[in-house]
Amino acid sequence: MATAPLEQTRPITDEAAADPMARLLAACRARRDEFGEKQQISQDVVLLMKQAGVYRACVARSLGGDEVSPATFLRMIERIAQADGSAGWVASFGVSATYLGSLPMASLQEMYANGPDVVFSGMIFPPQPATPVGDALEVSGRWSWGSGSTGADYIGVGIKVEGDASTGGLPLVAVMPAHKAQIVRNWNVIGLKGTGSHDVVVDKVMVPREWTFVRGSKSNLEGALFRYPAMALAAQVLAVVALGVGRAAIEELMDYAIGRTSITGAPTLANRPNVQMDLARAEATLRSARAFFYETTEEAFDVLQRGDDLTPKQIALLRLGASHAARAGSDVASAVYRMSGTTGIFEGHPVAHYMHDAMIVPQHAFLADGTFESAGKVFFGLTPPPGFP
């Protein structure tokens, strides 16, 4: 007997049917094991992300997008990450619309000609040599960390042109339709398995100069969103995934701690003093980090909306808040795992899933331990490393 399509076998609530975001969240919660097994977010769920406004959120209004505030977008990603960390991570690259603003306006208008719900996946490092051919660049190479590349409409890769000093030491990005790149499926990891951060290979693709831009250069778009520090926002959209996963871990523990009894006759988890204390500490840790994270975000955007520039200290606070949030979310998910006892040790249990997802986030280069040292240098008025804040 034929079976119904997968989507039809998962009933959704009336609320989810009416609200695109609720429908997306329901799908992410129900299908996270599927994402991990496939090593990608399924295409129909990427479509749900588009319908929920994930990819239009940071697109300029002049190009048909919503142009929301950074905090609004970050809260959106946090909600998705609470449903599934991999989905939140892939959704976070909706932020790419901000730094794509460095493309010429004609290229942006072509990119968004059919609407603002465009999925972009970029992988910059290591920049590969590109060869000038007339008004274009011939691009070849292999890049790692292609998160979301399996569902992308456009791919961006980091390149370098010998003898070209016009980038000021910043990476040049070549943008092309996704079908011109080959995905090498090698994302074999312990957490965030569904991000599909595979390697991407490009072989002798001709990219017109007008489809290249310098990562971190001035945007050609107007508005406070496009003056917000690009590197800081890139770090924040990843860090907020850990906040969402940390919250999911706490809620999971709360759901079963009251009823779970020990085979030894010990009190339920909820009635154990050590678990009570550890849960309270985890709640305080997560809420404190989240408050700092959004406080710095909203303060910085207020400054930009007034037409003022951010100081190095204000930008460093954004980076610090992101790195701190990433660690807080990871620490909380690990603490919940320890509180769960033997329950959380089994493969496929939500607690184990959350711990593995959350622990990946602070490993990202944008959130590494060195960002704390660099922030400290800025606070002391010392010179931080290149690229910070």
pLDDT per residue, tens digit, the chain (389 aa), is 333 333 333 444 555 557 999 999 999 999 999 999 999 999 999 999 999 999 999 999 999 999 999 999 999 999 999 999 999 999 999 999 999 999 999 999 999 999 999 999 999 988 999 999 999 999 999 999 999 999 999 999 999 998 887 887 788 999 999 999 999 999 999 999 999 999 999 999 999 999 999 988 899 999 999 999 999 999 999 999 999 999 999 999 999 888 666 666 677 888 899 999 999 999 999 999 999 999 999 999 999 999 999 999 999 999 999 999 999 999 999 999 999 988 889 988 999 999 999 999 999 999 999 999 999 999 999 999 988 89
Residue 3 burial by CB count (10 A; 0-12/13-18/19+): exposed, middle or buried? exposed
Element of type H or E holding 87: helix 85-91
* List of residues 6+ apart from 41 with CB closer than 8 A: 35, 49, 86, 87, 90, 148, 150, 151, 194, 195, 196
Phi, psi of 149 (to 5 degrees): -65, -30
Q: Determine the Cα–Cα distance for residues 356 and 243; give it in Å rounded to an integer.
A: 14
Q: Which residue has the tokens 């089994």?
A: 346
- Residue 124 contacts residue 172 (beta carbons within 8 Å): no
pLDDT score, position 4: 30
Q: Which residue has the tokens 């799908």?
A: 27
- Residue 180 contacts residue 154 (beta carbons within 8 Å): no
pLDDT score, position 17: 59
- CB neighbourhood size of 47 (10 A): 14
Edge-to-edge order in the sheet of strand 154-160: 182-184, 198-208, 136-146, 120-133, 154-160, 172-177, 212-214
- Residue 219 contacts residue 159 (beta carbons within 8 Å): no
Phi, psi of 117 (to 5 degrees): -85, 65
pLDDT score, position 334: 98
The secondary structure of residue 151, as a DSSP letter, is G
Express each pLDDT in 204-245 by its tens digit.
999 999 999 998 889 999 999 999 999 999 999 999 999 999
* Rg, the chain, Cα only: 22
Tell me the helices (H) and strands (E) count for the chain, helix number first: 12, 7
Domains along the chain with CATH numbers: 11-100 (1.10.540.10), 118-214 (2.40.110.10), 228-379 (1.20.140.10)
pLDDT score, position 2: 32
Peptide bond into 20 cis (omega under 30): no
Residue 342 burial by CB count (10 A; 0-12/13-18/19+): exposed, middle or buried? exposed
